[in-house]
Structure formats: C-alpha cells, structure tokens
Structure 1
C-alpha cells in the first residue's frame, strides 16, 4: 500500500484593497438641499426605484468579485465615491451579493452641492476602525467664494491587526478645464500632506493608503506633488496607457482612479502587510460589448439615455500579502 503525505492547504494570505467610483449612486428621493433633481422618477434621468435597485445589485456584485480569483475572498477595504447618502451605502452592503459578507462602512455627508460623498466599506473580519473624520477641502473661486466639494475621508484602523491610515478622495473635477481647475487638486494634495505631517508626529513610521478618483493622472502635477518628498509609492504609474485606463472620455483613456501606498508596505516583518501587485478591474462584464465604445466602461447613462450599466469608471485595486 502506498501512502501519500498529507499536504496542508496553503492559507490564503492576500487581501484586496479597492477603490470604485460608483457613478451617481443616488436614491430616488428629492433632497431639497442638493442638486439631485435629475435623479428622481420625474427628473431628467427618470431615475426610478427599479433602476436604482438594478444599479445597486450590479455594483454590489462587482465589489464582491474584485480580486476574488487570487484571494478567494471579497475585498478587505473598498473606498467608494459618488454616493448620495448613508442610506445608499446601507442599501449597497445589504444587496444580495454582499448581504452575507461582514461589511460595515464609514460615511459622512459632505458639502458638495450635488450631495455626493465618499465612503469606506470594510470587512469586519479583517479591519477595525479606530478613528475616522471628514477633512474639509477648502478651495475658493476667483471671487473668493468657497467652492463646496467633497471632503476627504480619513480612517485610522487596523488591517489584520496592523495599523493603517486610509484616505478616500474624490478631488474637484476638470469640468471647467484641467488647467483652470488644477489649483483645486493641488490644494487637495496639500491638505493630505498637512494631515500626514500631523500623523507622522504622532505615530512612528505610519502606513498610508491613499485612494480615490483624483481627476488627475499619475503623472499630473497634483499627484506628483503629493508624492514628492514623502515615502509614498504609486503603483498605478505602470498601469495606464493609451489603450487602457479606469475611465474613457471622448475615446481617450485616463487613470484618474488610483491607490497610493507608503513604502512601509515593502517590508516583510511578521504581522505586517507587503505590497503584492496592483491592477484595474476591467473585466469584460463591466464593458461595452460592441459598437464604437466597445471595451469602455458600461455606464448607467449616456446623457439622458438610460443604458442600465454599472459605472463610467472601472474599479482599481491593490493586493497586500499578510506576513504571518
């Protein structure tokens, strides 16, 4: 009789950290204090409860599958942007694809005139929140009036026991031109660096994860300024190309969605996490399947035309190896 030695199944040690701009995840209720009228049943978009439920389900399914092939589990952390309020975040984690996963979230209402915010979903088996706060982004127009935009979400927590400092961003858009609005995104970078300086005084060698829709590419001035004179590393610099990105506008790819980490994630000490790799989650299911926009994100709307897709952005993600 031949005996085969028992091989212990390798424990999965990879953990996914993702970011996803959800493209206008509004409820169908009119909020008199924000510019959300388009996203109501009688509004410009004819945004109905049925369409809302369909979008929530699709987004939840996408989130559940990011990095799944290599980790065999859903993401530990997911930064999200363009959510209207706490209710839609709650609906998202209660949707069927996420309902049985131990997700909770951090969310604060921001002063954005459209009422859209950022948030952080976290898997309670892998992440513990120690502290969180919204950091106001104070930018002003040429008349000296404040341009109300999204706050920067800061969350201090423990990822599998290791302390990390997470920033979730949705920086001011390029709607009025990339050069004309550049100063706003530079101010966002300065705001983060100012907060990092405070953290550096309080903690020794803190671990940073800075994620978001920055409305700038990895080689843009704001992102380069954020990284300058720090120990930050941007793995997304190697992902963008004329043929690939996280969003596509007028047939041109951009990589506005990024996850930046500190160099601490390149050590291999026991009880720490090491950077493994980064990628864009641009699976076929999330793309337009045919026509002139084939391969680009399958969005919910094109103007006022309802397409029924997911988002006009692909998620991006990194994976961290836990050193047991």
Structure 2
C-alpha cells in the first residue's frame, strides 16, 4: 500500500563547481510538542489531586467546558506545520494530560479523527496525576519499543522523601522505514524559585542524558529527538551543561546534540511569559545524525514556535501572552499558557512520490 507523504520543493545549492541552483522535491513531516495546560476530564479521581478540575471545584470544570477545551486543543494540533505539509504532525508529544481518556477524547475530535492517531501513555506518579504522552499517525509511524523511565528525586537526599514527578517517555519506531527515537519530557517546575528548584531539573537532565547515551551506545548514529517542557531555558545549566546541547549546528559532532531553540531564545522569543518576561521552556533538541546534509534519509530541516495570533491573549494586562484556557477560577475560551513548538524532518522524494 502506498502512503501519502507531504512534499515540499526547496532550492538548494548544488554540489557542482558552478554552484548552480537545483530544484529538489522532499518528503516532509512535522514533529511537535505541546503543553496543553491541565487537560483534565471533569470527573473526580480519588487517587489524585484533581479536585479543582471538577464541576464543584475551584475551576468549575464542567463537561461543557471540558469539551470546549478539547476542541481548542484539537484545532491547534491540527494546524501545526500544516502551512508546509498540508496536514497535522505525524508525531506530537504532549504534557499536562490527566489520563488516557482525555487523549482518546482529544484524538477523536473532528480536526484529528481522520488522521487515526495512536496513543502511547503511562500513568505517571505525579501527585496531580498529569502525564506525558506521544500521539502518532498510525499510517506513517510504527512504534517498535516504548517505556516510561521514572525520575527519582528526594528532598534533602532522604530516600523516604521522594518527590513524585513525571516519568520520561521513550519511544522508538519506524518513520517511513527509518528508525527514530523520541523522548517526551516534562521536567520539575520552578515552584519555590528557580535557584532552589534547579537541582531537580539537573536530575531530570541527567536522566535524559543517560537515556540518550544508552541509545548512542547501541547505535552512535541514532536519530534522536528529545522534546518537552523542560521548565528551563536553552541556556540553563540543565540543558547547556548537562545535555551539552549546542547552539551552532556546525559544531555538533558525532553523538552530540543540537538545540535549534537557543538562537530563538537569544532573539527574545519564547513559549510562555511570566512577570513581563519570556521563557523558552518548550524545546526540540536533535542528535547529530539528523544534521547531516545527505537527504537520502530523514534530516532536520528547521524548527519553530507555533505562535499564531489567535493563540495570544487579545487584550488586557497580559495581551500578547499565550492565551491560557483558565484564569481567576473560570474558563477563558483560550488555549494554553504555552505555545507549541515543532520541527520539520525532510528527505528527498523518490520519483514515484514526486510524481503523485
């Protein structure tokens, strides 16, 4: 069965001595990440602290509001990268989802249901019950292995005082016949202050690095994308010093990482705003193999922040900030307090694909 892959045409400098421009056609797929800001159902789960997100809770979270939130999230996801690919992301990591039910309800929304998304999700030990997950278009991506890797953090180095936070989701699979590895993250928050909470994110980064190194030990040329809400910026010690993610792709060597978000951050761009300042906590980081200039297989093309006008607060004190879905105990009609992020993977299309 032949599968449809979106195509784009790029003008690249040819390898000839005359440096003439050559027109080439590429398969292109979007991979994205979205913090969906507390996508909870409206029922009380006695095992988690979800009381606020119930009809009688602080947020007055009714079935009607839940359905409106789902519709908003589905609209955003369906549009990420579509201006280039004509379709929704082939893979999208999400965080702040309460359970599998909300993911099932999400992928069955009108803008997404025809894409037939599969779901990879584990219930995390987070006390609020929020998880990370990966959604994938079944016709384009086939998972071969996946697991949730727990993050063990303890207060005061006391093993009886575990800080329960999100697992890191590791998924390996085949995209158009090529193996790719994805890690979906939601690192510990800055609650209590950035400096005080920093060691927790350092621990998260160390775990992420351990996972990446284990993948490299099996295959030094592994194609890896680690994505998520790191609750740190591209220049923070967790990302810069522990992951050693580099800003300049030309400096990335074998078994190293490139962070395309760092240049955006230095230009003042962000995915969330706080106290009149922008942070770029939501990031997509790729391994060296994805940076090669041989486009006979999938390579990194470019990354971006999906910050369309409708996703920004239209008025008031927080005008221009991400248009969050609830504030002051009520549903705003908005989306999330984070903008999504994405990247494109491209490879040269064969003759059959180009002529479709």
- Select the residue among 220, 227, 231 that pairs with 1:215: 231
The equivalent of 2:98 in structure 1 is 84
Q: The residue matched to 1:13 in structure 2 has which SS?
A: strand
TM-score (norm 2): 0.85
The equivalent of 2:59 in structure 1 is 45
CA contact (8 A) 1:155 1:167 kept: yes
CA contact (8 A) 1:211 1:258 kept: yes
The equivalent of 2:38 in structure 1 is 24
The equivalent of 1:111 in structure 2 is 125
The equivalent of 2:170 in structure 1 is 154
CA contact (8 A) 1:20 1:315 kept: yes
Query: Kindly tell me: are residues 242 and 288 of structure 1, through their superposed partners in 2, closer, same or farther at Cα, counting changes over 3 Å?
Result: farther
Q: Residue deviations 1:217-263, cap 9 Å, x none?
A: 00000001243285100000011257531001122110000000011
Unaligned stretches of 5+ in structure 1?
1-7
In 2, Cα distance between equivalents of 1:242 and 1:158: 35
Alignment of 1:304-319 (within 5 A): 304-319=329-344
The equivalent of 1:186 in structure 2 is 202
In 1, Cα distance between equivalents of 2:339 and 2:51: 26
Alignment of 1:1-324 (within 5 A): 13-142=27-156, 144=158, 145-228=161-244, 230-241=255-266, 243-269=268-294, 271-324=296-349
Q: The residue matched to 2:265 in structure 1 has which SS?
A: coil
Q: Please give the root-mean-square deviation of Cα atoms over the aligned residues, in Å.
A: 1.8
Q: Residue deviations 1:1-55, cap 9 Å, x none?
A: xxxxxxx996651211100000000001101110000000001110000000000
Q: The residue matched to 1:181 in structure 2 has which SS?
A: helix
Unaligned stretches of 5+ in structure 2?
1-6, 10-24, 246-254, 350-356
Cα offset, 1:289, TM superposition: 1.2
Cα offset, 1:273, TM superposition: 1.1
Cα offset, 1:142, TM superposition: 1.6
In 2, Cα distance between equivalents of 1:197 and 1:231: 9
221-230 or 86-95, larger mean C-alpha shift: 221-230
CA contact (8 A) 1:22 1:81 kept: yes
TM-score (norm 1): 0.94
Query: Kindly tell me: are residues 24 and 111 of structure 1, through their superposed partners in 2, closer, same or farther at Cα, counting changes over 3 Å?
Result: same
42-51 or 141-150, larger mean C-alpha shift: 141-150
